[in-house]
Amino acid sequence: MVSQKSRAVTISGLILALVVTAWAADSRTKLKPGWNLFSPQQDIEMGQQSAKEAEKQLPILNNQQATTYIDALGKSLAAHAPGDKYPFQFKIVNDTAINAFALPGGFIYVNRGAIEAADTENQIAGVMAHEIGHVVLRHGTNQVSKAYLAQAPLSILGGVLGSNSVGGVLTQLGLGFGLNSLFMKYSRDAESQADLMGTQIMHDTGYDPRGMVEFFEKIQAESKGRAIQFFSDHPNPENRISNVQHEIERLSGAPPNARRDSPDFHTVKNLLAGLPAPRNGARGATNAPTDSRNGGKPQPPSSRMLSFSSNDLQLRYPDNWKQYGQGSAITFSPDGGIVNNALAYGMMVAEFEPDYHGQG
């Protein structure tokens, strides 16, 4: 009796272990894009325009062999990303800073310095998969949506957005399409989501996702107090590393026969090492994108005034202030008056209809 009972316990223990294993195999962190005012198609439109602006400012590396390799590697990773499909394209920036960035809709830039710092293909794949994570989780337009809501709630309620182009929305926010934009100022939350999504993408593409951890550890050790852009928004790279390690466990480790390296990667790495050193800093290329337009101090208000009038509102404002917005919510501000995409100096005018319950 006793032995039968213990056998039953053993068997149910085994079944439980099997169930737990099956669950563990599919226990990846569920990641979805956050709240967004825009459609995925608008992500692509915004990305296209931003890419055009960005490439005027960035020293894009003009080497076909290296670019073809990076673009093909990126596309193979992106093909395994979940959700909406975007027209991914990958280019190399001739900059030695260890960094990469993504614009909405799939326009991704990898610095030469990041490729040169990677020891194996799966390390640079980790950086690229992280950027793909930002695209498919739509972090860029999520940021813009939040900024828009914070700044012009009444115009959204008034349905103004519906009749606006994407460019119109960015202009209303006082933002351009260039590198100054909000697209790259992600929250720490968004960064860790991109790490986890990147880990999943690497795993699903057949890469050993531990390459991401190795790359983080490597640049952390090399940085020794120097700020590395790829970590600049992360005061705790250790957390970042342990979060990725935990996600790898949730994916039950590296996939079978996981890919770690390729001869092509080393061919490109050698090729880059043989190219002349980029002239960093000439155009501030190694610095994080800064909002040059809003960076300076605002000018004092001019004594000359301009008139503004709408259906039932008339006012005057200094002629060195600009007008953003339309309809029921308008912001007037000088250059430099909008800081971190919120009004710091200037004025905001909003009209609303009081909910009047007349008596008698």
**Closest distance of CB 129 from Zn ion, Å:** 11
Applying CB under 5 A, the site for Zn ion has a residue count of 2
Smallest distance from Zn ion to CB 36, Å: 18
User: CB under 8 Å to 227, separation ≥6 — which residues?
Assistant: none
CB of 184 to Zn ion, least distance (A): 8
Q: Is the torsion defined by CA of 223, 225, 226, 227 positive or negative? A: positive
Based on CB atoms, which residue is closest to Zn ion, 169 or 219?
A: 219
Non-local CB neighbours of 254 within 8 Å, separated by 6+ positions? 203, 208, 209, 210, 248
Closer residue to Zn ion (CB): 188 or 316: 188
- CB closer to Zn ion, 12 vs 239: 239
Minimum CB–partner distance for residue 97 and Zn ion (Å): 14
d(CA 61, CA 58): 9
Residue 194 CB, nearest approach to Zn ion (Å): 5
Strands 107-111 and 100-103: antiparallel
Burial of 69 (0-12, 13-18, 19+ CB in 10 A): buried
Residues numbered 163 to 192 that lie near Zn ion (CB under 5 A) are 191
Radius of gyration, CA atoms only, the chain:
25
Binding segment for Zn ion among 173-181, 193-201, 271-279, 335-343 (CB under 5 A)?
Answer: 193-201
Please state at what angle helix 64-78 crosses helix 121-136, rounded to 10 degrees: 60
CB of 76 to Zn ion, least distance (A): 20
Q: Which of 326, 330, 327 is nearest to 343 (CA)?
A: 330
Choose between 191 and 247: whose C-beta lies nearer to Zn ion: 191
Q: Which is nearer to Zn ion, 92 or 127 (CB)?
A: 127
322: β partners: 333
Question: Quick one: 43 or 328, whose CB is closer to Zn ion?
Answer: 43
Interface residue list for Zn ion (CB under 5 A): 191, 194
